Amino acid sequence: MSVPLVDLKWQHAQIADEVKDGMAEVMANTAFILGPQVAEFESEFAASQEVTHCVGVGSGTDALEMILRALGVGPGDEVIAPANTFIATVLAVTRTGATPVLVDSDPDCHLIDVDRVATAITPRTKVIMPVHLYGQMAPMAQLRALAEQHDLLIVEDAAQAHGARQHGKTAGNFGAAAAFSFYPGKNLGAYGDAGAVVANDAEVYDAVRRIRNWGSDRKYYHPSKGFNSRLDTVQAVVLSAKLKRMTEWNQMRRDAAARYDALLVDLPSVTLPVTLPGNDHVWHLYVIRVPDRDRVLAELNERGIGAGIHYPIPIHLQGAYAELGQGPGSFPVAERASGRDHVAADVPGHHRGPAGRSCDGASRDSRRLRFAAAVLHGPTI
C-alpha cells in the first residue's frame, strides 16, 4: 500500500458538491476576475483570522512582496529573515530591491532566533520578517519588543500558519500585516496558486488592494504602480468551502500529531517536535529529528510511505543567494537541520484508513519501522 506525501483526495471529497455548485455559479455569471465570491472569501478569512482586512492575491510570495511595497520597503533597506525557510520568503525581499539579512534559528523549535535578530539590526534595517514555521508561530512578544525598541516594522510570513494562535492571538495581529499562501498542500489550500494579505491597518490594506491591480482601485486610473496578482474567483469558491471546515481539520491535525507523539515517545533516537509555550500549533508538518535520517527516509520510501526534508538546502547555500557571500558554517542550526537530521511528514486528515493500517503492520516488524510508520500520512488536510 502506498501513502503519498500529499494526498488531497479525501479533502476534495468533503467539498466536491459545494465547489461544483459554486463553480457553476461563476461560469453562469462569467465573473472570473474579482467576482463577488472573492470579496466574500476575503471577509470570511479576515473574520477567521480576527483581523479587520483581507486582500486576496495570486500567491503567498506576491502577498509578502505587496506588504513590503505597501510599507515603502525598497533599495537601501534591510529585511531580517530566517535562513531556515522556503526561498519565497527571501525572494519577496529581493524583488522589492531591498537586501535580505539572514539569521539562524533556535535549535529546539527551529523558529527565528530572537537573539540573532538583535545582533543583525543595523541602521538600514526596516523590517523583521519572522516565519511561522510548520504550523506554529514565531516568538512574537520578544520580536515585537525588539521592533519597538528599534522603531522597526514586523511582517509575518504566515504561509504555514492558517488558524494558528499564540497566547490566543492569530497571525496578522502582531505586526503591520501577515502574508498567507493557499498553495494546494497548505492547511487551507486552493486548487492552484493563491494567497492573501491580512492586516488591521487601513492604509496597508488600501495600498495592497491597489498594488494587486496594476496600482489601481478604479478602472483605467492608476495613481501608483502595481502589478497583476489577483485572487481568481474560482479559487475563492474553493477556499470558502474549505474555510468552513478549517477549524475541524486543524483539530484533526492536532489529534494526529498527538498520536504520533505517543508512538514515538519511547524511541531514544527520535527527537520529537517542540511547541513554543503559548502556541496553539496547527501542524502543517510534523517534523522530527533522527541521527540517521537518510536511512530512515529510505525505509519509509521502501514501504511506500512518503516523507521529505524541510528544507534540504538553507537559503544562504542556494545558488540564487551566492551573492550574500555566506558559505557553510554561517548558520549552523539551519545547516544541521537541512543537512543531517530532519524528517518531515504531512499530518493526515483523519485517524482511520491507511494511516492506522500501516502503523499496525509496521509495528510488527521492528522498532525502527514502527517509527517509520508513525510518521506516515493519510489523506492530507
Question: Taking a C-beta distance cutoff of 8 angstroms, is the pair 196, 231 a contact?
Answer: yes
| Residue 3, CA distances (Å) to 116, 297, 326, 357 in order | 39, 14, 38, 11
Return the CATH class of domain 9-240: alpha beta
Residue 340: its pLDDT value, please? 64
Mean pLDDT of all residues in 184-207: 97
pLDDT, tens digit (0-9, with 9 covering 90-100), for 343-362? 666 664 433 333 443 443 33
pLDDT, tens digit (0-9, with 9 covering 90-100), for 290-324? 888 888 888 887 888 878 888 889 999 999 999 99
Residue 350: its pLDDT value, please? 35
Cα 292 from chain centre: 27
d(CA 353, CA 379): 9
Residue 43: its pLDDT value, please? 98
Residue 365: its pLDDT value, please? 34
Q: Angle CA(43)–CA(49)–CA(51) in degrees, nearest 5?
A: 70
Residue 290: its pLDDT value, please? 85
187-191, 302-306, 331-335: range with lowest mean pLDDT: 302-306
Please check the confidence at residue 366 and state whether its pLDDT lies above 90.
no
- The model's confidence at residue 342, banded by pLDDT at 50, 70 and 90, is low
Among candidates 315, 342, 308, 311, which has minimal Cα distance to 330?
A: 315
Looking at domain 246-374, which of 3.90.1150.10, 3.40.50.2000, 1.10.760.10, 3.20.20.80 is its CATH number?
A: 3.90.1150.10
Q: Residue 308 forms beta bridges with which residues? A: 344
How high does pLDDT run on average in the chain? Answer: 89
The set of cell numbers assigned to 262 is 505517543
Residue 115: its pLDDT value, please? 98
Q: What are phi and psi of 210, to 5 degrees?
A: -70, -45
Q: What are phi and psi of 102, to 5 degrees?
A: -85, 150
pLDDT, tens digit (0-9, with 9 covering 90-100), for 243-299? 999 999 999 999 999 999 999 999 988 999 999 999 999 999 999 888 888 888 888
Mean pLDDT of all residues in 1-16: 84
pTM of the model: 0.92
d(CA 124, CA 119): 13
d(CA 198, CA 72): 17
Please check the confidence at residue 192 and state whether its pLDDT lies above 90.
yes
Residue 1: its pLDDT value, please? 63
Please check the confidence at residue 368 and state whether its pLDDT lies above 60.
no
pLDDT, tens digit (0-9, with 9 covering 90-100), for 35-55? 999 999 999 999 999 999 999
Please check the confidence at residue 373 and state whether its pLDDT lies above 80.
no
The set of cell numbers assigned to 215 is 496600482
Per domain, the residue ranges of the chain are 9-240, 246-374
What contacts 70, CB < 8 A, 6 or more positions away?
177, 203, 204, 207, 208, 211
Residue type (1 letter), 80: I
Q: What is the 3-state secondary structure (H, E, C) of the chain?
A: CCECCCCCHHHHHHHHHHHHHHHHHHHHHCCCECCHHHHHHHHHHHHHCCCCEEEEECCHHHHHHHHHHHCCCCCCCEEEEECCCCCHHHHHHHHCCCEEEEECECCCCCCECHHHHHHHCCCCEEEECCECCCCCCCCHHHHHHHHHHHCCEEEEECCCCCCCEECCEECCCCCCEEEEECCCCCCCCCCCCCEEEEECCHHHHHHHHHHCECCCCECCECCCCCCECCCEHHHHHHHHHHHHHHHHHHHHHHHHHHHHHHHHCCCCCCECCCCCCCEECCCCEEEEECCCHHHHHHHHHHCCECCECCCCCCHHHCHHHHHHCCCCCCCHHHHHHHHHHEEEEECECCCCCHHHHHHHHHHCCCHHHHHHHHCCCCCEC
pLDDT, tens digit (0-9, with 9 covering 90-100), for 202-258? 999 999 999 999 999 999 999 999 999 999 999 999 999 999 999 999 999 999 999
Please check the confidence at residue 364 and state whether its pLDDT lies above 80.
no
